[in-house]
Homo-oligomer: A and B are copies of this chain.
Amino acid sequence: VTANIGDVAQLAGVSVATVSRAIRGLPNISPATRERVLRAAEQLHYVAHLQAPRQVAGRTMTVGMAVPLLTQWFIAQVIAGAEGVLAASGFDLLLYSVPDDHAKQRFVDQLPFSQRVDGLIAVDLPFLPDEMDRLSDQAIPLVTVGTSYDCAPSVTIDNLDAAAKATRHLVELGHRRIGMISHFPPQALMSAGPLLRREGYERVLAEAGIAVREELIVPGNFAMEGGAEAMAQLLAVDRPPTAVFAQSDEMAIGALKTVRDAGLRAPNDISVIGFDDHDMAAFTDLTTVAQPVLHQGETAATLLLDRITGDGSGEVTSVVMPTEVVVRATTGPARSSRTGMAAAQ
């Protein structure tokens, strides 16, 4: 029996993702840990397995990954996370770009991956029930990231709760006019995430006795430019928002650009909170809701490999990753509330 990456992880007392990183010489790992992992791999002759020939026991040694948009930071990170774990187990990664409904339909109709891969990871793709049936009917296992279905293991976050935390952060700072930069325009693929985040936003407003104003919810296309345009739209409404929750850091950073260009400052004139904890968030002092992104890709790959190799329990595992508000410099007390506090002092 050949040792698998899980055996190495167990022997070294670290996660599968750490084994993957150590073996591939990637950064973010201490020399001591790397040493321990390499020793475990050597003991188990794991290196030999890494260099095994392509075709193993009738397998293609390839995993498919279907994603909506390669240029998006979140997507690139999830791919990188999965790729690391797959490569450490000797699997290649076949990428399928599924940018819109038309492409999704073609993907499901043609099942291009069928017989070319041993398993499929679908990231942020909103499959309809009959589409999921067709995918599940294939002889290969499927794992989803970003959306969850009854019939396949998934890795997600609690989008509703995460958005509620973001909105609550703004409410607790005294904001009452809270805008949201939200989902894709209708022509693009719409996964459940943006809708659940909107629900979280609306629930917290309701709890705080704040009426939802439709003109304060504008689409930003999950891109910097879209965020910039959305903020321009928000600044132009009657009684503009004093705080904005952007559903991605890329949109938040675009929105902050518009704020600066308008001669305003965050958080003095307007507070902005993003979503993701993009690499760039720390460097632009952006308050955000952090989610573990690389780790979602790593976990999806691990779940899929368990299925492919039969190592897992076979149960449908739904991993829900934690999120948390990271307060930096772009959110602060509402101006009226600040005045109020000053008056009280």
Q: Which residues of A contact B (CB under 8 A)?
A: 24-27, 51, 54, 62, 69-71, 76-77, 79-80, 83-84, 87, 92-97, 99-100, 102-103, 106, 110, 112, 116, 187, 221, 223-224, 228, 250, 253-254, 256-257, 279-280, 282-284, 294
Contact (Cβ within 8 A) B106 A25: no
Q: Which of B26, B71, B103 contacts A76 (CB 8 A)?
A: B71
A123 CB to closest chain B CB (Å) equals 13
Bound-state Cα–Cα, A110 to B50, Å? 11
* Residue among A27, A70, A96, A224 with the highest chain B CB neighbour number at 10 A: A70
Contact (Cβ within 8 A) B112 A83: no
Q: Which residues of B contact A70 (CB under 8 A)?
A: 76, 79-80, 83
Contact (Cβ within 8 A) B97 A95: no
Contact (Cβ within 8 A) B77 A71: yes
Q: Which residues of B contact A294 (CB under 8 A)?
A: 71
Bound-state Cα–Cα, A145 to B100, Å? 28
Q: Residue of B at shortest CB range from A253?
A: B283
Q: Which residues of B contact A97 (CB under 8 A)?
A: 24, 83-84, 87, 93
Copies in the complex: 2
Contact (Cβ within 8 A) A93 B94: yes
A62 CB to closest chain B CB (Å) equals 7
A151 CB to closest chain B CB (Å) equals 25
Bound-state Cα–Cα, A80 to B87, Å? 20
Q: Which residues of B contact A87 (CB under 8 A)?
A: 97
Contact (Cβ within 8 A) A92 B76: no
Q: Which residues of B contact A221 (CB under 8 A)?
A: 27
Contact (Cβ within 8 A) B257 A99: no
9 tightest CB-CB pairs across the interface, nearest first?
A70-B80, A76-B76, A257-B283, A25-B100, A71-B80, A93-B95, A94-B94, A83-B97, A253-B283
Q: Which of B54, B77, B92, B102 contacts A96 (CB 8 A)?
A: B92
Q: Residue of B at shortest CB range from A294?
A: B71
Q: A83-B97, A100-B24 are in contact. Are A54 and B283 (CB under 8 A)?
A: no
Q: Which residues of B contact A282 (CB under 8 A)?
A: 224, 257
A46 CB to closest chain B CB (Å) equals 14
Q: Which residues of B contact A96 (CB under 8 A)?
A: 92
Given contacts A70-B76, A92-B116, 20 further A-B contacts (CB under 8 A): A24-B97, A24-B103, A25-B103, A26-B99, A51-B110, A54-B112, A69-B80, A70-B80, A71-B294, A87-B97, A92-B96, A93-B94, A94-B95, A224-B279, A224-B282, A253-B283, A254-B283, A257-B283, A280-B280, A284-B284
Q: Which residues of B contact A76 (CB under 8 A)?
A: 70-71, 76
Q: Residue of B at shortest CB range from A283?
A: B257
Q: Residue of B at shortest CB range from A26?
A: B99
Q: Which residues of B contact A253 (CB under 8 A)?
A: 280, 283-284
A329 CB to closest chain B CB (Å) equals 10
